[in-house]
Amino acid sequence: MELFELGIEGIKALLDKKEVTPHEVLDAFFARINAVEGKVSAYVTQTREKAYEMAASAEKAGNSGIKTLSGIPFAIKDNLCTKGIKTTCSSKMLENFIAPYESTVTERLSGAGGVFLGKTNLDEFAMGSSTENSAFFTTKNPWDLQRIPGGSSGGSAAAVAAGECAAALGSDTGGSIRQPAALCGVVGLKPTYGRVSRYGLVAFASSLDQIGPITKTVRDAAMVLNAIAGRDPMDSTSAPLPVPDFTKAAGMDVKGLRVGIPREYFIEGMDPEVEKAVKGAVAQLEAMGAIPVEVSLPHTGYAVAAYYILATSEASSNLARYDGVKYGFRAAGKDLLDTYMQTRAQGFGPEVKRRIMLGTYALSAGYYEAYYGRAQQVRTLIKRDFEEAFRVADIIATPTSPTAAFKIGEKSADPLQMYLSDIFTISINLAGLPGISIPCGFTGTGLPIGLQLIGRHFDEEMLIRAAYAYEQSTEWHKRRPALPSDNGADKGEGPKAL
């Protein structure tokens, strides 16, 4: 087995036994990037020199103390600030912006010994579900290079699936970790809002954004969460709660665990192959001793509308800072007002402009209560729905996405259809709950399907417990895409199984 095919746990075992060095691990992953990046386009920026410096430091420190991820190669979504390295948000507005400080999560990850390979592509300012809204290029799905990898953390998910990193960090505002993880056949964990510091995350919608891991296995996700979670004085919304060892939940059985099945999440228009795979996953959990129970989340139908008022309103406010004066792109104007207008007209892409306009309208005088105020009320109702459901269920199981990955360009002309791609993930952000997507099957054409598990606030341990138990009882997570540079792939062979 090649080094690039391994996840955190596999690489860590080899490093601990001194069968390989961090430098050799890095060589293997950069060789993989050289082989497939031209096809996948996952990275906006590669940080090779920095990576080898970090690898040398990891080799010197070993796995002592907090260096639990020593020598593990990570990719970082390009909306997380990394000091001295470009942080572009895949936008022309920040194309040449070099962050003057480090985000808390990347600081904690490097403190644990992680090595950064580079910054990954995303939908501009994390606004999208396909990574087609990047100002630079579209990332391709490693399972089918004609299809999207999901979004907005499409670059991170594609990099993990293609073996271009051992694990990655993403951000999730309405499904942007879980949905691309599902479409790329990897694991994506969105923690509870407040579990992980947002300091250094370029803001999209501050009451919804959350940072989390994208990995090859559930246990790997737990290891990353151990490293990045916890109270941060630089983020007033981070919760002052102790951080358990999440890896201890991986290995517990699911006997007696009540799995809620929301009737509103199995809807008309869902791909039948997705529905079959998810129901098969629930049946597998039941065979392992879990107890399926039907639950209702009656306000689910209002979630997309409420989300696209709240998220765009917060985006309108957050993106007001990009005026061409303080930092970032600046267009030449006749006067100050014209400079503002030209800068924003030229610096933002179509989707970002669309969301700014929607949010500005929703916040404008005479419309605030009718739109923003009412959307906040719906948000409260959605949160109460989950509270009621968790009276009878320990976790909730749903599809992550209503379909497998669609073709590049298929939905880009219809924003509403694109927005509906997140119909199963948005409610979790509105309620601030944790959620995880894990592979649960493939379509007849070989595209991955994701199972979403949702937990109570700050109960990531329950998610990891159930997700790991399911993962270990199946073989889905062991399958890897056969990219054109892989041996045998040019002969038309299907996905590789490890």
Residues labelled catalytic: 77, 152, 176
CB atoms within 10 A of CB 485: 15
Environment class of 129 (CB within 10 Å of its CB; exposed 0-12, middle 13-18, buried 19+): buried
Instruction: List the one residue out of 120, 94, 96, 117 whose CA is nearest residue 40.
Output: 120
Would you give the end-to-end CA distance of the chain in angstroms?
8
Conformation bin of residue 302: beta by default, left when phi > 0, alpha when psi is -120 to 50: alpha
Instruction: List the one residue out of 460, 431, 461, 465 whose CA is nearest residue 297.
Output: 431
Tokens (6 digits) for 325? 């004066």
Residue 22: its H or E element = helix 22-40
The whole-angstrom separation of Cα 25 and Cα 73 is 8
Q: Which residue has the tokens 């996905």?
A: 495
Query: Strand (E) positions, 95-175?
Result: 115-120, 167-172
Q: What are the residues whose beta carbons fall under 8 Å from the beta carbon of 410, sequence distance 6 or more? A: none
The whole-angstrom separation of Cα 107 and Cα 60 is 18
Phi, psi of 438 (to 5 degrees): -130, 150
DSSP 152-207: SSHHHHHHHHTTS-SEEEEEESSSTTHHHHHHHTSEEEEPPTTTB--TTBPPS-TT
